[in-house]
Amino acid sequence: MDRSKLYRRFRTLLIANRGEIACRVIRSARAMGLRTVAVYSEADGDAMHVADADEAVLLGPSRARDSYLNIQRVIEAAKQTGAEAVHPGYGFLSENAEFAQACLDAGLVFVGPTAAMMTAMGSKSGSKFLMEQAGVPLVPGYHGEAQDETILAQAADKIGFPVLVKASAGGGGRGMRVVNSAAELSAAIVSAKREAKAAFGDDRMLIEKFVQNPRHIEVQIIGDSHGNLLSLFERECTLQRRHQKVIEEAPSPTLNATQRESVCAAARKAAGAVNYVGAGTIEFVSDGKEVFFIEMNTRLQVEHPVTELITGIDLVEWQLRVAFGEKLPLKQDEIKLNGHAIEARVYAENPQKNFMPSVGRIKTWRTPDAVDGLRIDAGYRSGDAVSPYYDAMLAKVIAWAPTRQAAIDRLNRGLEETDVRGIVTNIPFLSALVTHPQVRANTIDTGFIERELKGLTDRTGVVGELELCAAVAAIIGEEQRAARHEAHSPWRTYGWQPVGLRTRVFQFRQGQGTEQKVSLQYGDGQFAVSVANREAPFLVSVAPYAAGGLFDLTIDGMKSQVTAVIEGHELYLRTRNGRFDLHWVDPFGGETEEQVGEDKIVAPLPGTVVALLAEEGAVLEKGAAILTLEVMKMEQTLRAPYAGVLKKIKCKVGDIVGEGVELAEIEPAVA
């Protein structure tokens, strides 16, 4: 084939993706002088990537299959805007060979490997055949074309349990299950196939031996169309949950220099098996002694920024230069490793509720400045809506420093200074994770998070005197700020009260805990705050609010920096003691909060019913599976909150249900 049809210089680039990665690609493309085109669904009309691009085209309805996964519509959008090239990002169509070929057939440059390379290496099964021929070590497993359940069961039995069942296409932990016994296999295969089909449009499975206490090592590679193929050192992605990476770092703290060169050479050998062109990642699993090839991702990875920070290379820029038909700018021995980088993925999810995705509108979005080795790659802003249709990742916080310990400290500081309100995020969980002593000591494996989950998610701090004083100060400050815009407001007079007194009483509650009473007495320039169990009041003064809800709070002569966000009667505080969510009890008795019992089988978020796992009339034990919802591309199984009888199922497979809709009714067992 004429190489000019595959690689040539272009001026307009369409990014066939959304969120953080679309914004990331737009940033590098613009720096190179390219015109950028975004695509979006009906749910993403006001999204950040749409605003960042020079032009944007509506693809279709909110569901990914009707918009971002609609190949023909993406091609039409490119033609409509005069785009000459397409960057697929990661996820969606990024490893879809049909899409890569469709771009070529339409006269578009696909920023990535050819369809043939993608087919050979993008399939976990197909790539293993190639690696066998190339002499790259493999995990024992089955990666054949026969997919009936009997064949898969026989393969699993031959390999020996525990085994890993996973989708041949895609990644991100979707369509992947650890199976410990033959009795669990059938249900795991059905669920994994269904999830893979929904995420990637391909439900083919492979089965391989589950490596005990594994470490996840991967090597970044990139090749050009002139036969040059480079490795850009390795990353370690061992901190995972449900096979979804949570923290990534580079270089791996597990490998020494000899091991590093060995695994990087194996990665170049693996990619060289198909004369690979473009950016890609060769993934390995290690049992502490040997390293085995597991798969290749024929695209840019979520965690690529840590490689960029230790090499000084903009991988998106290099992708685009390769697509131009240029040679790679450096040779292998010119790529130098500098320092250590670590990245945390910020998700809209609630770790205290089994990482249930969180949807809604972001009311507050505050991140620290990207200076002193800190980098923030985000796809959302204040005011943006987080929908149930797509992956829940909001942003990545990445830190670089000369040493691993310093990078961890810098990352934790970045997390501590990031405030996202209106939805629930995993930021406190991430902070607890990166500061865990075993993470610092690198005594971990891929099962670490599951083993330590309770300690990592149970991080509710005790509201102390600092937080109570800060809550009062935040309310007073908010009232005075609002009063400045109201000429006749009584709050313009410091300490005004409707009955002429200069004292107020506040009551605050954390979660479902007891209420704490705080008394405020106004003074000239400062006020006295009385807290229960303390005889003398605190003398408190407050500096004016700075940007981001930040203010200096001085208590008895000691100054502290506090962040506060007030949303009605809900207060969010960040102090030196951590993060706190407080409810300001209505002083006029207007509490009308609905207490939702945990015994209700309701949809926690909008989603699609994909499986009914019990029948009406069934006698259920506590924790028994009732039905499965697909939410944000991941399956969530709803279970019985107590033992009883499944009296009624109020939905069917295929139903699209809204948040809070009751799906099943259980009659408690008689004691």
d(CA 40, CA 47) in angstroms, rounded, equals 8
DSSP letters along 44-55, please? Answer: GTT-HHHHHSSE
H-state helical runs in 135-256: 149-159, 182-200
According to CATH, what is the number of the domain 465-584? 3.30.700
Give the residue from 427, 231, 416 showing the smallest Cα distance to 310.
Answer: 231
Residue 593 predicted with pLDDT over 60: no
User: What is the number of alpha carbons within 13 Å of residue 617 lying toward its C-beta?
Assistant: 0
Q: Report pLDDT digits (tens) over 656-667.
A: 888 788 999 998
pLDDT tens digits along 523-551 = 777 889 999 878 789 999 888 776 668 88
3-state secondary structure 355-421: CEECCEECCEEECCCCCCCEEEEECCCCCCEECCCCCCEEEEEEEEECCHHHHHHHHHHHHHCCEEE
Q: What is the pLDDT of residue 612?
A: 94
Q: Are 170 and 196 spatial neighbours (Cβ–Cβ below 8 Å)?
A: yes
Q: Which of 299, 375, 410, 574 is catalytic?
A: 299
Q: What is the pTM of this model?
A: 0.81
The residues pairing with 608 across neighbouring beta strands, listed in sequence order, are 630, 656
Element of type H or E holding 284? strand 278-286
Q: Quick one: tokens of 355?
A: 């990482």
Please state which of the four CATH numbers 3.40.50.20, 3.40.50.1000, 1.10.630.10, 3.20.20.70 is assigned to the domain occupying 3-111: 3.40.50.20
- Residue 288: pLDDT band (50, 70, 90) is confident
Q: For residue 92, give both structure tokens.
A: 């969606």
Selected residue with higher pLDDT from 196 and 431: 431
Which span out of 121-130, 466-475, 481-490, 658-667 was modeled with the highest average pLDDT?
A: 466-475
Distance CA(278)–CA(91), nearest Å, equals 16
First CA to last CA distance, the chain: 75
> What superfamily would CATH give domain 140-209?
ATP-grasp fold, A domain (3.30.1490.20)
CATH number for 601-668 (one of 3.40.50.11810, 2.40.50.100, 3.20.20.150, 3.30.450.20): it is: 2.40.50.100
Q: What angle do CA 544, 545, 548 make, to 5 degrees?
A: 165
Tokens of 290: 């040997």
Higher pLDDT, 312 or 532: 312
The tens digit of pLDDT for each residue in 417-449 reads: 999 999 999 999 999 999 999 999 999 999 999
Q: At what angle do helices 115-122 and 124-134 cross, to 10 degrees?
A: 80
Domain ranges of the chain: 3-111, 140-209, 465-584, 601-668
Q: Which amino acid is at 43?
A: A
Place of tokens 């307009």: 12
Q: Is 174 a catalytic residue?
A: no
